[in-house]
Amino acid sequence: PLVSMKEMLIKAKEGKYAVGQFNINNLEFTQAILQAAEEEKSPVILGVSEGAGKYMGGFVAVVHMVKGLMESYNITVPVAIHLDHGSSFEKCKEAVDAGFTSVMIDASHKPFEENVEITKKVVEYAHSKGVSVEAELGIVGGQEDDVVGQGIIYADPQECKQLAELTGIDCLAPALGSVHGPYKGEPKLGFKEMEEISNLTGLPLVLHGGTGIPTKDIQRAISLGTAKINVNTENQIAMTKVVREILENDPKLYDPRKYLGPGREAIKQTVIGKIREFGSSNKA
Ligand code: G3H
Ligand code: ZN
């Protein structure tokens, strides 16, 4: 069923595993991720960035595509459709009104008071419709669509506590050294702060920039209260690698199903691997 993130993340934090947010870019991503989650009997979060939403034809089209596939595939595991890095109250409202079951308001680049104010407004609206809310503090490095991190800034634990108390969010993404896109060298995650923020807020924590984080760091993050891990780039790389190989080997090929089909399979295998790594198999 289509559900909010609220319960699945509370369960994950208690059970010491993480639910994957896998971003969708098109039909094949959505098919692959839904099938992977169903086969693994795992809850799953479909992440939709504003850019990807626009690419797929808008939030309404996304919701109908996801619902249609869930019906055709007889999906039984809990699925959330989540706006990734929502840039304003208006965008979050648009997603909620289209049928998204969860939204992230990312006002992390704004002054703290403004972040609190916008996030609170989103929570009021979203919660009135049964939709969960994620907020962010600090700056995630790298770039994803239009979201550019101007140098990494670690979230401040006291601000996290205040934001949680003042807004009533369901989960929190404290930037603690992670990066969107590939890492240059090993990530340096702020585990001390992660533990502190988890204890101070009591909230399930979210780790952005899941691509390229070593398994030992994933496990440590989960043990310290991380209950949601976002992955996008790794699936894009997996799909594109296969498509590139196929097209290079067969320059006469023109049926898109002949390269997108194998690309879709590559995403599915990548997602299955992540689900197992995050420990959410058989938690549906
Ligand atoms: O919001 C989405 C994620 O944080 C994705 O990060 O592309 O580095 O896996 P990634
Ligand atoms: Zn992110």
What is the predicted pLDDT for the residue at 150? 67
Check residue 149 and give its pLDDT: 66
Whether 231 is covered by a domain: the verdict is yes
Cα 227 to middle of ligand 2, angstroms? 15
Within 6 Å (CB) of ligand 1, which residues are found?
23, 47, 84-85, 144, 180-181, 208-211, 230-234
Residue 284 belongs to a domain: no
Answer yes or no: is 131 within a domain. Answer: yes
Cβ(140)–Cβ(95) under 8 Å? no
Asked whether residue 212 is marked as a ligand-binding residue, the answer is no
Query: Separation of 44 CA from ligand 2 center, angstroms?
Result: 16
The tens-digit pLDDT sequence of the chain (284 residues) is: 999 999 999 999 999 999 999 999 999 999 999 999 999 999 999 999 999 999 999 999 999 999 999 999 999 999 999 999 999 999 999 999 999 999 999 999 999 999 999 999 999 999 999 999 999 999 999 877 766 666 889 999 999 999 999 999 999 999 999 999 999 888 999 999 999 999 999 999 999 999 999 999 999 999 999 999 999 999 999 999 999 999 999 999 999 999 999 999 999 999 999 999 999 999 99
C-alpha span between 143 and 177 (Å, rounded): 14
Domain of 66 in residue numbering reads as 6-278
Q: E strand or H helix at 205, and its extent? A: strand 205-207
Closest CA to 107 of 116, 99, 115: 115
User: For a substitution probing ligand 1, which of 23, 87, 213, 229 has the most ligand atoms within 8 Å of its CB?
Assistant: 23
Of 24, 25, 108, 231, the residue with max ligand 1 atoms within 8 A of its CB, to mutate for a pocket test, comes to: 231
Does the annotation place 231 within a ligand binding site? yes
Write down the catalytic residue from 84, 145, 146, 217: 84
Q: Give the span between the Cα atoms of 224 and 218, in whole angstroms.
A: 10
Task: Locate all alpha helices (DSSP H) within 88-232, ordered by sequence.
Answer: 89-98, 112-128, 157-167, 191-201, 215-223
Q: Distance (Å, rounded) from C-alpha 155 to C-alpha 134?
A: 15
pLDDT of residue 184: 87
Which pLDDT score is estimated for 151?
Answer: 81
Give a yes or no: residue 1 inside a domain.
no
- Domain membership of residue 102 (yes or no) is yes
CATH number at residue 250: 3.20.20.70
Domain assignment present for 237: yes
Q: Which of 26, 33, 164, 173 is nearest to 103 (CA)?
A: 173
Question: Atom 10, ligand 1: which residue's CA is nearest?
Answer: 209
Residues in CB range of 204: below 8 A, 6 or more apart: 9, 10, 12, 13, 170, 171, 172, 225, 226, 227, 228
Structural domain contains residue 218? yes
The structural domain count of the chain equals: 1
Distance 189 CA to ligand 1 centre (A): 15
- 201 in a known ligand binding site: no
Residue 99 lies in a domain: yes
pLDDT score recorded for residue 143:
77
For residue 213, give the ligand nearest its CA.
1
Active-site residue, 84 included: yes
